[in-house]
Amino acid sequence: MKKATKKEILEIHQLFIDKYSDAVTELEYKNAYELVIAVSLSAQCTDKRVNILTPKLFEKYPNTHELANANIADVKALINTCSFFNNKAKNIIAMAKRVEEVYNGEIPMDAKELITLGGVGQKTANVVMIEYTGANLMAVDTHVFRVSHRLGLSDDKTATATEATLVKKFKNNLHALHQGMVLFGRYICTAKNPKCEECFLTEFCKTTKTFKV
C-alpha cells in the first residue's frame, strides 16, 4: 500500500483541522471523575451505549469515595449492557480506591499518573488528557487506526506503534486531529461500506480495506 507523501500529510493535517477544530468527545460527563469512567467503559463499546448507562451509575456513585466503597455486584448490574462489564466494574472500583488513597479523591491530570489507575491504559489516559485539558497527545482507537491506514499515514500493526507514527508525522494540533479522526471514522470512513461520496479526503485515500486493531 502506498504511503502518504510529506505534502499529502500536511494537506490531510490542515483539512482535519479545518473541519474538526471544535470537535469534542461524544461521551457525556460533568467532571474528570465521570470522564475517566466513561472513557474506560467505552473500550470496545459504543459511546451511545455508555451514555445510556452512565447517568444511573453516576447518580448512585457521584464521586470516588462512594465508588471506592461500592458493592461490585451493584456496579456490575448498572453496567451489564456494556461489553466486558465484569472486568470494567472491577477496574473502575480499583480506580476509585487508588484515587482516594493516593490522590485525595482528585483525578490526577497527568498521563503517567492516570496509567496507574485501574483499567486505565495509555489510550484511555491520552483520551482523558486530550478531552479534559486539550493536551497535544494522540490516542488510537479502532477508528483512528483504520483511518490512518486507509490514508497511508501508517502501516503499523498495533495501536501504540500507530500512535507514535501519527505523533511524529503530525506533531501539533494532535488533540483536534484525534477527535476529528474518531468522528470521521465513525460517520464517514466506516469499517464497512464507507461513505466515500461524503468524504472530503478522497484524493488521499489509498484503500477502503477494513483495518482492525
Output the nine-digit C-alpha cell for 62.
457521584
What are the tens digits of pLDDT across the range 58-86? 999 999 999 999 999 999 999 999 999 99
Predicted TM-score (pTM) of this structure: 0.90
pLDDT at position 173: 94
Residue among 169, 173, 110, 113 at smallest CA distance from 137: 173
Residue 75: in which H helix or E strand, if any? Answer: helix 72-79
Distance of CA 73 to the CA centre of its chain: 27
CB-based contacts of 203, cutoff 8 Å, min separation 6: none
Cell 474528570 belongs to which residue?
A: 32
CATH level 2 (architecture), domain 6-23+137-204: Orthogonal Bundle (1.10)
Q: Known catalytic residue: 155?
A: no
pLDDT at 192 > cutoff 90: yes
From the candidates 3, 7, 74, 123, which is the catalytic residue? 123
From the candidates 88, 97, 141, 169, which is the catalytic residue? 141
pLDDT band for position 21 (cuts 50, 70, 90)? confident
What is the sign, positive or negative, of the torsion defined by CA atoms of 39, 40, 46, 47? negative
Q: Known catalytic residue: 18?
A: no
> What mean pLDDT, rounded, does the chain reach?
95
CB-based contacts of 42, cutoff 8 Å, min separation 6: 27, 50
CATH topology of domain 32-133: Endonuclease III; domain 1 (1.10.340)
pLDDT at 181 > cutoff 90: yes
pLDDT at 22 > cutoff 90: no
Q: Range(s) for CATH 1.10.340.30 in the chain?
A: 32-133
pLDDT at 49 > cutoff 90: yes
**115/213: higher pLDDT:** 115
